[in-house]
Amino acid sequence: MKIGIMSDTHDYLPNIRKAIAVFNDEKVDMVVHCGDFVSLFVIKEFENLNSKIVGVFGNNDGEKTLLKEWLKEIDPDNELENYVSFETDGHKFFILHGTHAPILEAVIQSKEYDVVIHGHTHERQFEEIDGVLVINPGECCGYLTGKPTVAILNTKDKEYQEIDLDEVSEI
Protein backbone atom coordinates (compact mmCIF):
# COMPACT_ATOMS: atom_id res chain seq x y z
CA MET A 1 0.00 0.00 0.00
CA LYS A 2 1.16 3.53 -0.76
CA ILE A 3 0.35 6.00 2.00
CA GLY A 4 0.59 9.75 1.48
CA ILE A 5 1.54 11.51 4.70
CA MET A 6 0.99 15.17 5.55
CA SER A 7 0.66 17.36 8.59
CA ASP A 8 0.35 20.93 9.74
CA THR A 9 -1.39 22.34 6.68
CA HIS A 10 -2.44 25.44 8.68
CA ASP A 11 -4.86 26.70 6.01
CA TYR A 12 -2.18 27.19 3.34
CA LEU A 13 -4.30 26.24 0.33
CA PRO A 14 -1.61 26.45 -2.40
CA ASN A 15 0.47 23.74 -0.72
CA ILE A 16 -2.56 21.66 0.18
CA ARG A 17 -3.51 21.66 -3.50
CA LYS A 18 0.04 20.71 -4.50
CA ALA A 19 0.07 17.87 -1.97
CA ILE A 20 -3.26 16.51 -3.19
CA ALA A 21 -2.01 16.67 -6.80
CA VAL A 22 1.16 14.78 -5.83
CA PHE A 23 -0.82 12.11 -3.98
CA ASN A 24 -3.20 11.73 -6.93
CA ASP A 25 -0.31 11.56 -9.44
CA GLU A 26 1.42 8.94 -7.29
CA LYS A 27 -1.84 7.00 -6.96
CA VAL A 28 -1.59 6.62 -3.20
CA ASP A 29 -4.13 4.28 -1.62
CA MET A 30 -4.57 6.40 1.50
CA VAL A 31 -3.57 9.79 2.85
CA VAL A 32 -2.79 10.27 6.52
CA HIS A 33 -3.20 13.83 7.82
CA CYS A 34 -1.52 14.26 11.22
CA GLY A 35 -3.57 17.25 12.29
CA ASP A 36 -3.66 21.02 12.27
CA PHE A 37 -6.02 21.36 9.34
CA VAL A 38 -7.00 24.53 11.30
CA SER A 39 -10.08 25.94 9.49
CA LEU A 40 -13.15 24.26 8.05
CA PHE A 41 -12.65 25.50 4.49
CA VAL A 42 -9.49 23.39 4.20
CA ILE A 43 -11.57 20.19 4.29
CA LYS A 44 -13.26 21.09 0.99
CA GLU A 45 -9.89 20.78 -0.78
CA PHE A 46 -9.82 17.08 0.06
CA GLU A 47 -12.85 16.51 -2.18
CA ASN A 48 -10.22 16.45 -4.96
CA LEU A 49 -8.30 13.59 -3.38
CA ASN A 50 -8.60 10.27 -5.22
CA SER A 51 -7.97 8.10 -2.19
CA LYS A 52 -9.17 7.37 1.30
CA ILE A 53 -8.16 9.90 3.98
CA VAL A 54 -7.39 9.21 7.61
CA GLY A 55 -6.95 12.22 9.85
CA VAL A 56 -6.44 13.21 13.46
CA PHE A 57 -7.06 16.46 15.26
CA GLY A 58 -4.20 18.86 15.93
CA ASN A 59 -3.90 21.41 18.71
CA ASN A 60 -4.81 24.28 16.36
CA ASP A 61 -7.92 22.67 14.89
CA GLY A 62 -11.04 24.68 15.66
CA GLU A 63 -14.66 23.67 15.11
CA LYS A 64 -13.80 20.02 15.74
CA THR A 65 -17.38 18.84 15.44
CA LEU A 66 -17.79 20.39 11.99
CA LEU A 67 -14.29 19.32 10.86
CA LYS A 68 -15.28 15.76 11.70
CA GLU A 69 -18.65 16.04 9.93
CA TRP A 70 -17.20 17.65 6.79
CA LEU A 71 -14.39 15.11 6.51
CA LYS A 72 -16.90 12.29 6.97
CA GLU A 73 -18.88 13.68 4.01
CA ILE A 74 -15.75 13.22 1.88
CA ASP A 75 -14.76 9.84 3.32
CA PRO A 76 -17.61 8.13 5.21
CA ASP A 77 -15.15 5.69 6.82
CA ASN A 78 -13.15 8.51 8.41
CA GLU A 79 -13.48 8.92 12.15
CA LEU A 80 -11.53 12.10 12.88
CA GLU A 81 -10.29 11.72 16.48
CA ASN A 82 -7.25 12.61 18.60
CA TYR A 83 -5.49 9.43 17.48
CA VAL A 84 -6.13 6.55 15.16
CA SER A 85 -4.64 3.09 14.72
CA PHE A 86 -4.92 0.60 11.90
CA GLU A 87 -3.11 -2.36 10.40
CA THR A 88 -2.04 -2.87 6.80
CA ASP A 89 0.48 -5.14 5.08
CA GLY A 90 1.26 -6.73 8.44
CA HIS A 91 2.26 -3.42 10.07
CA LYS A 92 0.45 -1.80 12.98
CA PHE A 93 0.19 1.99 12.64
CA PHE A 94 -0.53 4.64 15.25
CA ILE A 95 -1.33 8.20 14.11
CA LEU A 96 -1.47 11.24 16.38
CA HIS A 97 -0.66 14.91 16.16
CA GLY A 98 1.99 14.74 18.87
CA THR A 99 1.03 17.79 20.90
CA HIS A 100 2.07 16.13 24.15
CA ALA A 101 5.62 14.78 23.80
CA PRO A 102 5.33 12.38 26.79
CA ILE A 103 2.35 10.66 25.16
CA LEU A 104 4.15 10.39 21.81
CA GLU A 105 7.20 8.99 23.60
CA ALA A 106 5.07 6.48 25.54
CA VAL A 107 3.42 5.22 22.34
CA ILE A 108 6.83 4.73 20.71
CA GLN A 109 8.33 3.06 23.78
CA SER A 110 5.34 0.72 24.12
CA LYS A 111 6.55 -1.09 20.97
CA GLU A 112 2.91 -2.01 20.39
CA TYR A 113 3.07 -0.39 16.93
CA ASP A 114 5.42 -0.90 14.02
CA VAL A 115 4.96 2.62 12.66
CA VAL A 116 4.12 5.81 14.58
CA ILE A 117 3.26 8.85 12.47
CA HIS A 118 2.93 12.32 13.97
CA GLY A 119 3.20 16.03 13.24
CA HIS A 120 3.12 19.09 15.50
CA THR A 121 6.84 19.91 15.63
CA HIS A 122 6.97 20.84 11.91
CA GLU A 123 10.33 19.01 11.82
CA ARG A 124 10.84 16.13 9.39
CA GLN A 125 11.67 12.76 10.89
CA PHE A 126 12.15 9.29 9.44
CA GLU A 127 13.88 7.22 12.06
CA GLU A 128 13.75 3.77 13.57
CA ILE A 129 13.68 3.90 17.37
CA ASP A 130 13.99 0.53 19.12
CA GLY A 131 12.35 -1.23 16.18
CA VAL A 132 9.57 1.33 15.74
CA LEU A 133 9.55 3.42 12.57
CA VAL A 134 8.79 7.01 13.59
CA ILE A 135 7.67 9.44 10.87
CA ASN A 136 6.96 13.15 10.87
CA PRO A 137 6.42 14.44 7.32
CA GLY A 138 7.30 17.98 8.36
CA GLU A 139 5.01 20.87 7.63
CA CYS A 140 2.86 21.13 4.55
CA CYS A 141 2.41 24.86 5.11
CA GLY A 142 6.10 25.77 5.19
CA TYR A 143 5.49 28.52 7.75
CA LEU A 144 8.06 27.65 10.44
CA THR A 145 10.86 25.85 8.63
CA GLY A 146 10.49 27.46 5.22
CA LYS A 147 10.47 23.98 3.66
CA PRO A 148 6.99 22.63 2.90
CA THR A 149 7.05 18.85 2.72
CA VAL A 150 4.82 15.80 2.50
CA ALA A 151 5.81 12.15 2.18
CA ILE A 152 4.85 8.82 0.69
CA LEU A 153 5.45 5.51 2.44
CA ASN A 154 5.26 2.19 0.62
CA THR A 155 4.22 -0.21 3.36
CA LYS A 156 5.42 -3.33 1.55
CA ASP A 157 9.12 -2.39 1.69
CA LYS A 158 9.03 0.68 3.99
CA GLU A 159 10.37 2.78 1.13
CA TYR A 160 10.00 6.44 2.09
CA GLN A 161 9.89 9.40 -0.26
CA GLU A 162 9.95 12.99 0.93
CA ILE A 163 8.45 15.58 -1.43
CA ASP A 164 9.48 19.23 -1.27
CA LEU A 165 6.33 21.14 -2.30
CA ASP A 166 8.44 24.11 -3.44
CA GLU A 167 9.61 21.83 -6.26
CA VAL A 168 6.05 21.01 -7.35
CA SER A 169 4.48 23.19 -10.05
CA GLU A 170 1.61 25.47 -9.13
CA ILE A 171 -1.81 23.93 -9.62
**What pLDDT, in 10s, does the model give residues 70-116?**
999 998 988 899 999 999 999 999 999 999 999 999 999 999 999 99
Pairwise CA distance, residues 67 & 106, whole Å: 27
Model pTM? 0.96
User: Nearest to residue 166, comparing CAs of 15, 11, 8?
Assistant: 15
Pairwise CA distance, residues 54 & 14, whole Å: 21
38 within 8 A of 10, measured Cβ to Cβ: yes
* pLDDT confidence tier of residue 170, bands split at 50, 70 and 90: confident
Give every strand in the sheet of 125-129, ordered side by side. 83-88, 91-96, 115-117, 132-136, 125-129
What DSSP assignment string belongs to 42-81? HHHHGGG-SSEEEEB--TT---HHHHHHHHHHH-TT---B
User: Nearest to residue 55, comparing CAs of 26, 18, 21, 16?
Assistant: 16
Burial of residue 90 (number of CB atoms within 10 Å: 0-12, 13-18, 19+): exposed
Pairwise CA distance, residues 119 & 37, whole Å: 11
CATH of range 2-167; options 3.60.21.10, 3.40.50.880, 3.40.50.970, 3.40.50.2300: 3.60.21.10
- The full set of domain ranges for the chain reads 2-167
**What pLDDT, in 10s, does the model give residues 3-47?**
999 999 999 999 999 999 999 999 999 999 999 999 999 999 999
Task: Spell out the alpha helix ranges (H) of the chain.
Answer: 13-25, 41-45, 64-74, 101-110
